[in-house]
Amino acid sequence: MANSADFRSDTVTQPTPAMREAMATASLGDDVYGEDPSVNALQEKIAAMLGFEAALFMPTGTQSNMCGILSHCQRGDEYIVGQMAHTYRWEGGGAAVLGSVQPQPLNHQSDGTLALADIEDAIKPDDAHCARTRLLALENTWGGKVLPFAYVQGATALAAERQLSSHLDGARLFNAATAQAALHGTDVYREARAIATCFDSVSVCFSKGLGAPVGSALCGDKDFIARAHRIRKMAGGGMRQAGMLAAAASYALDHHVGRLADDHILAQRLADGLQDIAGLEVEAPETNIVFVDLVGAARERSAALLESLDAQGVQITGLYRLRFVTHLDVDASGVDRAVTAVRAFFRAA
């Protein structure tokens, strides 16, 4: 998809020819019976890669996070989470609706973190009047921002000290690890493992930056994954010959992690190209997501801008706060095409 200008999300990617080949030749079995060799191999691979005893392949990240929260918490329990975290705001309230687990949302700091003091203050006393605080749920990356590693260590240490479990929505964990590896001059797989092992459980998505068509994995210890397996069944997530999907995810882990740095470079190229346009405030990207705020008179033209971009095949999300996401189906020419379209729109004002 050369010169693609679909920046709505990194979920819009298409499987590459090599990934399709891996899917077509995958060994298959019935995963509900635990007999799909490709699913089993993927689960073993991602668990070992991130430093866990076991993993469970899920159809979606939403289901993976919900199974994770419900495996840590019981009815009447509570989890601490960010006000703008995906697990709280954009997953249909599944933990509350299906598990009777109460979220306790906290405001994010500007870097995406939840202040340690706020976490501490949110932990309820052991009192019959209060929900039982059982879990801290973080997200990395959050809105494209990488949670500082020292913060991740401190927040999960606080949770453990207060006898809370910790869960990571790592939908874009490998984007965070890529940025962290660049900062430290280390290996992306090493950084992904370092982040993941701070937590009791991690959900990682294969269908975003990694470019697989479907799927996420939930990682944890064996007892935790056994509980999650039961919940996945109740949620309708048991699949049969799922090996074709697992093969795509496994291929992505082997071949698409290293190229995430390209997406980050293109995001910076996009941000640089949109700088100095009157009425736009461009947030410096840390990974593959660029936010652009329309301010002043430009806000009045937001609908017209989106209509103009769409007519030129440039697709984004947002209205007054625009979001551009780079991915493996976007190249430099696609980025330049988007920049040219935006500049031309405001130049014609």
Is pLDDT larger for residue 176 or for residue 347?
Answer: 176
Burial of 308 (0-12, 13-18, 19+ CB in 10 A): middle
Distance CA 261, CA 268 (A): 11
* Pairing label, strands 216-220, 201-205: antiparallel
Tokens of 320: 């007054």
Among residues 189, 163, 168, the alpha carbon closest in space to that of 178 is found at: 189
Per-domain boundaries in the chain: 13-255, 259-347
- Is the domain covering 13-255 a CATH 3.40.640.10 domain? yes
pTM as predicted: 0.96
Cα R_g (the chain), whole angstroms: 21
pLDDT, tens digit (0-9, with 9 covering 90-100), for 187-239: 999 999 999 999 999 999 999 999 999 999 999 999 999 999 999 999 999 99
CATH superfamily for 259-347 is: Aspartate Aminotransferase, domain 1 (3.90.1150.10)
Is residue 2's pLDDT more than 70? no
Distance CA 341, CA 90 (A): 30
Is residue 3's pLDDT more than 90? no
Query: From the DSSP assignment, how many helices (H) and strands (E) are in the chain?
Result: 14, 10
Is residue 255's pLDDT more than 70? yes
pLDDT band at 4 (very low <50, low <70, confident <90, very high): confident
pLDDT, tens digit (0-9, with 9 covering 90-100), for 108-129: 999 999 999 999 999 999 999 9
Is residue 1's pLDDT more than 90? no
Instruction: Please say whether the beta carbons of 57 and 246 come within 8 A.
Output: yes
pLDDT, tens digit (0-9, with 9 covering 90-100), for 196-207: 999 999 999 999
Burial of 334 (0-12, 13-18, 19+ CB in 10 A): buried
In the block, residue with structure tokens 């999960």: 156
Share above pLDDT 70 across residues of the chain, in percent, rounded to a whole number? 99
Distance CA 224, CA 237 (A): 17
